[in-house]
Amino acid sequence: MRILILGGDGYLGWPQAMYLSAQGHEVMVYDSLMRRHFDLENGFDSLVPITTPQERVAAWKEVTGKEVHLRIGDTRDWTLLSKAFQEFQPEALVHLGEQRTAPYSMMDREHALFTMDNNVLGTMNVLYALKDYAPDCHHVKLGTMGEYGTPNIDIEEGFIEINHNGRKDTLPFPKQPGSFYHLSKVHDSHNIMFACRIWGLRSTDLNQGVVYGIETEETKLDPRLATRFDYDQIYGTALNRFCAQAAVGYPITVHGKGGQTRGFINIRDTVRCIELAILNPPEEGGYQVFNQLTEQFSVLQLAELVQSTAPELGIEVALEHIENPRVELEEHYFNPVHTGLLKLGLQPHFLQGAVLIGMMQAAVANKDRVDKKLIAPTVSWRKTDNAI
């Protein structure tokens, strides 16, 4: 198939591009390089060194003989986006091209507006490009489990059956997002579902948990093919941050009580889930949702897991509780249904000893690249203007 990957230079996008190329698909990467610009502007960097997009695609061709097409462009640039659709004529579209973190969206007015502009309006452009130039293309959109929040009931996969005053209907599961970033994803979901209904598009929404890991079968082929390892307060996940903290002897900092529980998924399972979604499109006009996670942990469980694993690498690290910068329940019920992708054939990898040790070894090997000033949270949900 011809598969267009929006955001194909990102943490997930680049491994996804290589994975699909390795399966024999013709792949085009379309990326604005917004993530790289943020690093340059703010002095951030991936803990594991990464090469430029041009070096990546050249290395992939050198190592495998397969070509990944590269196009630099913004989803909000209608001229460039529509040209990519017209020239490449994608049969499947993987939409990862969005600002991807909650802390970024909560920094201040400017970053909140950028998140809405980039994510919501960019996706609107994508929907119109699908309608005008590739109406039969299957749109696979990366959403987030954060759309749901933490309701005190089981979280269904996208929809819930409601019985009310003697009548019954199946409706979208209620959304309780926890940041402007998560809100942008909710807006996307509503816009996509509407476009499918009125234009006959077909789309799969993947509400993904937190992704961990940096290694896939493809990234292992050559150091030039590595993907990002973000550990900072804006883009780094809690697990990445804990691994980096352990590597440099910086106390593992748990936000609040640490009872905040989320779904997690290994990066190898993410690339497989997206492939499964591509290969199983809904009918014309159909909109389907899968919850993309394989296990769940609280923040405290992750911290204790890293702390207990560290001695295997000759490291002793302390654990500290700090004030939670977010506005969220720190202890709550969390039980999401996630059977759809398993039924399609997903065979999960779990956060076991070897996987976690591999992440920690990568952090130790690159510990000289850790900037401790980037770890402590400075973005507060309660402030209107934050500095990084």
As beta bridge partners, residue 262 has: 297
Q: Is 116 left (phi over 0), alpha (psi -120 to 50) or beta?
A: alpha
Judge whether 144 counts as a catalytic residue. yes
User: In sequence order, what are the beta bridge partners of 255?
Assistant: 322
Nearest in space to 205 (alpha carbons), one of 304, 94, 70, 80 = 94
Query: Which one from 133, 185, 231, 250 is the annotated catalytic residue?
Result: 185
Give the active site residue among 181, 212, 231, 250: 181
Buried b (16+ CB within 10 A) or exposed e, 217-236: ebbeeeebbbbbbbbbbbbb
The active-site residue out of 101, 123, 144, 270 is 144
Decide: residue 34, CB within 10 A, 0-12 exposed, 13-18 middle, 19+ buried.
Answer: middle
227 is catalytic: no
Distance, CA of 37 to CA of 177 (rounded, Å): 27
What is the phi/psi pair of residue 209, to 5°? Answer: -80, -170
Clarify whether 79 is annotated catalytic.
no
Q: Is 304 helix (H, G, I), strand (E, B) or coil?
A: helix
Give residue 208's Cα distance to chain centre: 7
Instruction: Classify each residue of 178-209 as buried b or exposed e, where b means 16 or more C-beta atoms within 10 Å of its C-beta.
Output: bbbbbbbbbbbbebbbebbeeeebbbbbbbbb
User: Is the torsion defined by CA of 5, 19, 46, 299 positive or negative?
Assistant: positive
**Residue 93 DSSP class:** E
Closest C-alpha to 196, from 243, 143, 138: 138
Q: What is residue 97's three-state secondary structure? A: coil
Using CB atoms within 10 Å of the CB of residue 2, give its burial: 0 to 12 exposed, 13 to 18 middle, 19+ buried: middle
Contacts of 176 (CB under 8 A, 6+ apart): 148, 149, 150, 151
**Identity (one letter) of the amino acid at 260?**
Q
Burial class (CB in 10 A: 0-12, 13-18, 19+), 51: middle
Which residues carry out catalysis?
144, 181, 185
